[in-house]
Amino acid sequence: MQLTAQTIANHLKGDIEGNPEVTVSSAARIEQGKPGTLCFLANPKYEKYLYTTHASIVLINRNFVLQQLVDCTLIRVDNAYVAIASLLDLFNTMNSVNRKGREFPSRVSWRAKIGKKVYIGAFSYIERKACIADNVKIFPQVFIGKGVTIGENTIIYPGVKIHNGSKIGTNCIIHSGCVIGGDGFGFAPDANGIYKKIPQIGNVVIEDDVEIGANTTIDRATMGSTIICKGTKLDNLIQVAHNVEIGENTVIAAQSGIAGSTKIGAGCMFGGQVGIVGHLTIGDKVILGAKTGVTKNVAAGKSMLGIPAMEVEKFRRSFVIFRNLPELNRNVMDLMKKNNEENK
C-alpha cells in the first residue's frame, strides 16, 4: 500500500511543503527514517533528526519553526502526535480491509450467523449460535464459543479465545492471545478445608470501541456479567477478574490486576502493575500511578500512589522521609551512643 503526500495531507487536513506526489508505504521513527517511510516530529528533543532523516515525509506542527533546510516533504498539522495516531490507524485499517473471505482449514457451525464481508482465518473455530456482524475480521487460530456475539468492524487477532456467551461490541480490537470469558477464580472451603469450585455461569460484555492488549484475560462473571464499558483501552497482560465493571474511556497499562467484583469509574488512568483488591469502588477520573496497591475505596478525582495507596502529595512527603531513613537512623544511633557515654 502506498500513499502520496497529497492523500495524507487531505486525510489530516494538513499543509504540504515540498513534493505532493512523493509516496510512502510505511511509517518509521524519525531517527530511523529511510526513503519510502513517513515519520513525525512532536517532541523537541528529536528535532536534530529532522535535518538528517532520509524519510520521504515528516509530519510537524503548524507552528514549528525550521532552523535549516530539510530534504524531505513536510506536512504541517495542528498536532503531529494526534495526526500520526490517525495515520497509523489508516495504515492498519487499510491492511485489515484487504483481508476477506474464509481460509481453510477452519470450522464454522452451520448454526452460526455470519454477516457480510467477514474474514475468517485458517484454523479458526466458530461454534453454534455465534453471531458475527458485518465486516468483522477474525484472524487465524481464533476460538469463538457458543452464543458469542461480535459487532460490526471488530478485529480479532490470532490466537484469541472468546468463551460461550460473551458479547463484543462494534469497532473493538482484541489482540493476540487474549482470553475473554474464561472461568472466574471462585472457590469455597468445605468443613475439611478442601476448596470446592464455585461454578461461574455469567458472561463477559465488552461494549463498543474497546481495545484489549495481547494476552490480557477477562474472566466471566459468577452470575451476571463482567463489563468493560465503551471506549476503554486495556494494555497487554492485564487480569480482570469475575464481575468487575470498568467504566467508559478508562485506560489501564500493562500487568495490572483487578480482583473480583470491583467497580471502576469512567475516565480513569492506571499505570503499569497496579493491583486492586476485590469488592472496591473506584470513582470517576481516578489516577493510579505505576505499582499502586489499592486496598480501600477511592473517591472520584483522586490521584494515588504507593502500597497501600495514598494521595500523591502524602506519598511524596512520606517518600522523602523514607529515603532519608538511613541517615536519620545513623543520627539516632550517634545520639544514643553519645548519651550512653555521658551517663557513664
- Grid cell, residue 192, equals 475439611
The verdict on residue 30 lying in a domain is yes
Closest-CA residue to 292 (of 264, 311, 279, 278):
311
Domain that holds residue 51: 3-97
Helix-helix angle 5-12:80-97, to 10 degrees: 110
Judging by beta carbons within 10 Å of its beta carbon (0-12, 13-18, 19+), is residue 196 exposed, middle or buried? Answer: exposed
C-alpha distances (whole Å) from 264 to each of 222, 228, 267, 287, 302 are 18, 10, 9, 11, 13
CATH, residue 61? 3.40.1390.10
**Are residue 144 and residue 74 in the same domain, yes or no?**
no
**Are residue 171 and residue 221 in the same domain, yes or no?**
yes
Following DSSP, what letter does each residue of 168-205 receive, concatenated? E-TT-EE-TT-EEEEPP--EEE-TTS-EEEPP---EEE
Asked whether residue 272 carries a pLDDT value surpassing 90, the answer given is yes
**Are residue 148 and residue 247 in the same domain, yes or no?**
yes
**Are residue 225 and residue 198 in the same domain, yes or no?**
yes
**Are residue 30 and residue 157 in the same domain, yes or no?**
no
Asked whether residue 194 carries a pLDDT value surpassing 70, the answer given is yes
Please tell me the distance from the alpha carbon of residue 206 to that of residue 87, in angstroms, as a whole number: 26
316 backbone dihedrals φ, ψ, rounded to 5°: -65, -40
The verdict on residue 343 lying in a domain is no
**Are residue 125 and residue 83 in the same domain, yes or no?**
no
Identify the pLDDT of residue 26.
Answer: 87
Asked whether residue 215 carries a pLDDT value surpassing 60, the answer given is yes
Following DSSP, what letter does each residue of 109-142 receive, concatenated? -TTSEE-TT-EE-TT-EE-TT-EE-TT-EE-TT-
C-alpha distances (whole Å) from 174 to each of 107, 137, 154, 217, 297 are 20, 10, 8, 11, 30
**Are residue 38 and residue 112 in the same domain, yes or no?**
no
Q: Are the CB atoms for 289 and 312 separated by under 8 Å?
A: yes
Number of domains comprising the chain? 2
The verdict on residue 31 lying in a domain is yes
Q: For 175-192, what is the mean pLDDT?
A: 94
The verdict on residue 327 lying in a domain is no
pTM of the full structure: 0.80
**Are residue 280 and residue 239 in the same domain, yes or no?**
yes
Identify the pLDDT of residue 211.
Answer: 97
- Grid cell, residue 332, equals 539516632
**Are residue 215 and residue 189 in the same domain, yes or no?**
yes
Neighbours of 197 (CB within 10 A): 10
Which residues in 60-76 are b (16+ Cβ under 10 Å) and which e? bbeeeeeeeebebbbbb
Q: What confidence tier does 133 reach under pLDDT thresholds 50, 70, 90?
A: very high
Please tell me the distance from the alpha carbon of residue 284 to that of residue 264, in angstroms, as a whole number: 7
The verdict on residue 332 lying in a domain is no
Question: By percentage, how much of the chain surpasses pLDDT 90?
Answer: 83
Active-site hit among 54, 175, 242, 279: 242
**Are residue 160 and residue 107 in the same domain, yes or no?**
yes
The verdict on residue 330 lying in a domain is no
Asked whether residue 328 carries a pLDDT value surpassing 90, the answer given is no
CATH, residue 196? 2.160.10.10
Q: Are the CB atoms for 110 and 130 separated by under 8 Å?
A: no
Identify the pLDDT of residue 329.
Answer: 86
Q: Taking all residues of the chain, what is their mean pLDDT, rounded to a whole number?
A: 94
Closest-CA residue to 110 (of 134, 133, 128, 132):
128
Q: Select from 97, 116, 147 the last residue of a domain.
A: 97
Write the Ramachandran bin of 236: left for phi over 0, alpha for psi from -120 to 50, otherwise beta. beta
Please tell me the distance from the alpha carbon of residue 122 to that of residue 144, in angstroms, as a whole number: 13
Q: What confidence tier does 249 reach under pLDDT thresholds 50, 70, 90?
A: very high
Q: What confidence tier does 93 reach under pLDDT thresholds 50, 70, 90?
A: low
**Are residue 139 and residue 265 in the same domain, yes or no?**
yes
**Are residue 135 and residue 246 in the same domain, yes or no?**
yes
Asked whether residue 97 carries a pLDDT value surpassing 60, the answer given is no
Asked whether residue 262 carries a pLDDT value surpassing 70, the answer given is yes
Task: Give the helix/strand (H/E) hosting 60.
Answer: strand 57-61
* Catalytic site includes residue 242: yes
The verdict on residue 322 lying in a domain is no
pLDDT digits (tens, 9 = 90+) for 306-320: 999 999 999 988 888
Q: What confidence tier does 115 reach under pLDDT thresholds 50, 70, 90?
A: very high
Q: Select from 74, 97, 120 the last residue of a domain.
A: 97
Q: For 151-179, what is the mean pLDDT?
A: 97
The verdict on residue 333 lying in a domain is no
**What's the per-residue H, E or C state across 27-55?**
ECCHHHCCCCEEEECCCHHHHHHHCCCCC
